[in-house]
Structure 1
Amino acid sequence: MTKETIKTADAKLTVYLNGPNWEGVQAATFGDFSCKSPEAGAQVVDAGIELVRNAGIDRVIGPMSGDTWHNYRFVSYSDGSTPFLMEPTNKTHEPEVFWSAGFSEISRYFSARVELEDTDKVAPPESDGFEVEAWDGNDPEGLFRQVFALSAQAFSKNAFYKPISESEFLAMYLPVVPMMKRELILFARRHDGNLAGFLFGIPNYAEGPTPSSAILKTYASLEPGAGRHLAHKFHKAAAEMGCKTAIHALIHDDNKSADRSAAEGATIFRRYSLLGRKLNG
């Protein structure tokens, strides 16, 4: 990945020239951004735009550290609650630097919370196509190889999707294995043994060693209905672990899981924006 970091005493920005496509056109991304003041931020963003122009690229997405597998999105609304584990964070003045530089919103996301006692107590109708099971705790590398293969297939049509290698994926996720609870790692498996879907949940250790909330971090399915079954099993397992609240994390506004979260009665507590600018537009 071609990248260059622009750094001053009061600001930092990494420009990734080999970013994902935006509306079918290759884009660069601005990631790893921080600044002590809007003025300092504007200095590195302007320098980044000049670097992108000189590379012959006319679209920039940010904040995004190269692709959607890594950190991306600004917090655009918050109820003031403490960030949860692995949630994007930023200083309140940092998004304004991008807006002032001519960026606009190109994608929206949210996180919501629901009291587990309020989630659906009745299991979805049984499916003949798959069965949901928890990870047995063995072979974490094999686990994430399966997750990678299904993720690459399930997410490939998402906006701003850019493929990465299996080795890159494993390097990101294997370090979190010590924090994982196998009860919250769920698979929907077809009768031939192939995966129809998965759900990756994790206790919200940002609250401390005995958290009262669990995060529904990521799920994907290739089979209709698998997502609902996985979410139901996750809520039940989290409650049995002693958690009181589930966090439905980082959901795209237009995703089917957004409708499911709303149907569960979850309340939005954070919103996020991904911004973009067409330099010649």
Structure 2
Amino acid sequence: MEGDTWHSYRFVTDSDGSPPFLMEPTNQAHELDVFKLAGFRQIGSYFSARVPLQQMRAPQPTRTDEFKIEIWDGKDAEGMFQQVYDLSAAAFANNPFYKAITRNAFMAMYMPIVPLIRKDLVLFARKPDGALTGFLFGIPNYAEAQTPKSVILKTYASLTKGAGRHLSHTFHTAAAKGGFQTAIHALIHDENLSALRSAAEGAEVFRRYGLFGLRLNG
């Protein structure tokens, strides 16, 4: 792990051989063998899955007055990522091995990719008073082609029950409307609620990853 879970910390453990998608961790097969020979053992399991957008099975979520879903207006990218940082810090704080990074470090990671962002794939869930309670960040899979046919559901988080389902549904609907054929559900922990949602939406796993650890004596 490069210091924290914001950077690369997983090995590919199984794959269908398809090319890596944008921002996906990669490694040579022998690199994992080196860690295993050094005594590292898998302590966490993750996967990525893909689903044809025209074959989505999940029904539309029940309407709610607890929050509303907004599409980013494309303005003030720095302010948008400032909000994402604040909510991420709150939503991910209890995740295993989570370690906070500074606001400046977060901004340095994400601001360079602003030119690649499509505003219709960045979503917010807001309470009636305007308070942010969830977000979803999607991006076209530019590793595939200059005009990609697949889109990546990179990250989403919420502080209110049900917001994640609404964000996901809105994302898939917007992606299909935008001409994408396939959605990639990226880097999901096997035990996360997102794993159940991905399966319910008909996504099929094409890559698996592992987090490996070594217990030190003393």
After TM superposition, the score normalised by the length of structure 1 is 0.76
The equivalent of 1:139 in structure 2 is 76
Over the residues paired in the alignment, what is the CA RMSD in angstroms?
A: 1.0
The equivalent of 2:37 in structure 1 is 100
* Residue 120 of structure 1, CA deviation: 4.0
Query: Larger RCO: Structure 1 or Structure 2 (Cα < 8 Å, ≥ 6 residues apart)?
Result: 2
Query: 16, 20, 40: which is aligned to 1:79?
Result: 16
The equivalent of 1:159 in structure 2 is 96
The equivalent of 2:56 in structure 1 is 119
Query: 82, 88, 106: which is aligned to 2:25?
Result: 88
Query: 210, 219, 232: which is aligned to 2:147?
Result: 210
Matches within 5 A, 1:1-281: 64-120=1-57, 122-280=59-217
CA distance in 1, matches of 2:58, 2:24: 28
CA distance in 2, matches of 1:125, 1:280: 52
Residues 43, 212 of structure 2: 8 Å contact kept: yes
Greater per-residue strand proportion: 1
Q: Which has the larger radius of gyration?
A: 1
- Post-superposition CA distance 1:189-239 (Å, at most 9, x none): 111101110000000001111100000000000010000000000101111
Residues 120, 232 of structure 1: 8 Å contact kept: no
* Residue 134 of structure 1, CA deviation: 0.6
Residues 196, 221 of structure 1: 8 Å contact kept: yes
After TM superposition, the score normalised by the length of structure 2 is 0.98
Residues 139, 151 of structure 2: 8 Å contact kept: yes
- Post-superposition CA distance 1:58-78 (Å, at most 9, x none): xxxxxx111001111000000
* Residue 122 of structure 1, CA deviation: 4.1
CA distance in 1, matches of 2:216, 2:157: 34
Share of identical aligned residues, percent?
63
* Residue 121 of structure 1, CA deviation: 6.8
CA distance in 1, matches of 2:134, 2:199: 21
Point out 4+ residue stretches in structure 1 off by more than 6 angstroms: none
Gaps of 5+ in 2: none
Give the aligned residue type for 2:167. L
* Residue 272 of structure 1, CA deviation: 0.3
Residues 57, 200 of structure 2: 8 Å contact kept: no
Residues 58, 201 of structure 2: 8 Å contact kept: no
CA distance in 2, matches of 1:131, 1:68: 29
Residues 154, 222 of structure 1: 8 Å contact kept: yes
Give the aligned residue type for 1:141. E
Gaps of 5+ in 1: 1-63
Give the aligned residue type for 1:169. F
CA distance in 2, matches of 1:209, 1:129: 39
User: SS at 2:214's partner residue?
Assistant: strand
